Chains A and B, each alone.
Chain A
Amino acid sequence: MTRNELLDLYFMDARAKLIDLAAFLDRVDRGTGDADFRLAAFRSALRELNGGESARARAVLVSLSDPTVEPIEKSPGKSAIGAWLGNAN
């Protein structure tokens, strides 16, 4: 498909998601108290959008991932959080 055909298909959807992201960050700014590591991880992942290569989705996912290689001793619970604590340090 041409770039303009892809814009025809996805621009409005991407525009809405972009505004949602901006509104989300504004909403968190208006909140009280300290934000935990997820906000820093999110902001770090956002920087991947400015990458020059056509692998931004992969880069965002890697940015939010646990990069370690050894299994952990004990499960901290069943659920995933969406960001890795270590990336925000």
Chain B
Amino acid sequence: MRYIEPHGHMVSRTTDDYQAMVTSGCKAVCEPAFWAGFDRSGVQGFYDYFCQLTDFEPKRAAKFGLPHYSWLCINPKESEDVKLAEEVLAIIPEFLARPNVLGIGEIGLNKNTRNELKILERHVDLAARHGQMILVHTPHLEDKLKGTRLILDVLKSDSRIAPEQIIIDHVEEHTAGIVLDTGMWAGMTLYPESKCTPARAIDILENYGAERIWMNSACDWGISVPLAVPRTALEMRKRGWTEERTDAVVFGNPLRFMSQNPRFRI
């Protein structure tokens, strides 16, 4: 088996996790910027985090022979503070030339506020001005459906970014269709307690098509499973998926999406 982990918060994981992923067939890992579980006290905290994502973490992954890529932003959980968010937006361009940066992400909404929406629009503008791809986080639980609609409205209103260069992550049964109908990609996050189980993720693939969907573990500092993608591939075999069809989803799809950026090589 081979697969790509297209959304893993590896700064929160141990070297045991790296070893387990590589021995399970992981060929590359991609790490969007996200919330640390606590609010950073200022822009310098983000500067240090972006250095970690673009310098230290790729070196740590390389010790296990794993290519590491990153996406940069201020996560929506911290973008309610507009002043801080604007300071962070101002330092992102100096990191965009670093060799493992794939684009802007994971941007989006958390509680669907006006401030979050304003900073989402600023991120989209930043991506458009710098020719960057976009990775979008959609809100949790009761806020997901509304937030997904608001996010799609923002993205559809900016013609500078091609839909095929955007992935909307954390889709579930009530949002997969509305995302895919826009021509954008969709991501499914495999969590033990929320988002998608392996069985539901396969249901979504079977119901909505497997052409523009990837699966990720989003492994982070919370309860999450770094091997969720290969374990779902095993479930796909039980469901009668051939090795070729499974490979197309767990390896081919993230490869196709991220290879739109020529920096992505495995």
Contacts and interface: CB of A to CB of B under 8 A. Distances in A.
Interface of A: 1, 9-10, 13, 55, 57-58, 61-62, 64-69, 71-84
Nearest to B150: A71
Interface residues of B, number: 30
Given A71-B113, A75-B111, A75-B113, A80 B200 contact: no
A40 to B, nearest CB: 14
Given A1-B239, A84-B142, 5 more contacts: A9-B238, A66-B142, A66-B145, A76-B111, A78-B77
Interface string B218-231: 00000000000000
Contacts of A72: 111-114
B86 interface: no
Contact of B146 (A68, A73, A77): A68
A67 B174 CA distance: 12
Contacts of A9: 238-239
Interface of A is mostly: loop
Given A74-B113, A80-B141, A81-B141, A61 B172 contact: yes
Interface string B113-136: 111110000000000000000000
B238 A82 contact: no
Nearest to B39: A78
Contact of A65 (B110, B174, B239): B174
Contacts of B112: 66, 71-72
Contact of A58 (B141, B174, B238): B174
6 contacts: A1-B240, A9-B238, A9-B239, A71-B113, A72-B113, A80-B141
Contacts of A83: 141-142
Nearest to A82: B141
A67 B143 CA distance: 9
B174 A62 contact: yes
Interface string B35-73: 100000000000000000000000000000000000000
Interface in B85-123: 110-117
B2 interface: no
Interface in B142-176: 142-146, 149-150, 172-174
Contacts of B114: 71-73
A64 B142 contact: yes
A80 B172 CA distance: 16
A49 to B, nearest CB: 14
A68 B145 CA distance: 9
B199 interface: yes
A75 B150 contact: no
Contacts of B113: 71-75
A79 to B, nearest CB: 8
B80 interface: yes
B110 A78 contact: yes
Nearest to A73: B114
A10 to B, nearest CB: 7
A80 B145 contact: no
A45 B261 CA distance: 42
B254 interface: no
Contacts of A76: 111
B146 A65 contact: yes
B140 interface: yes
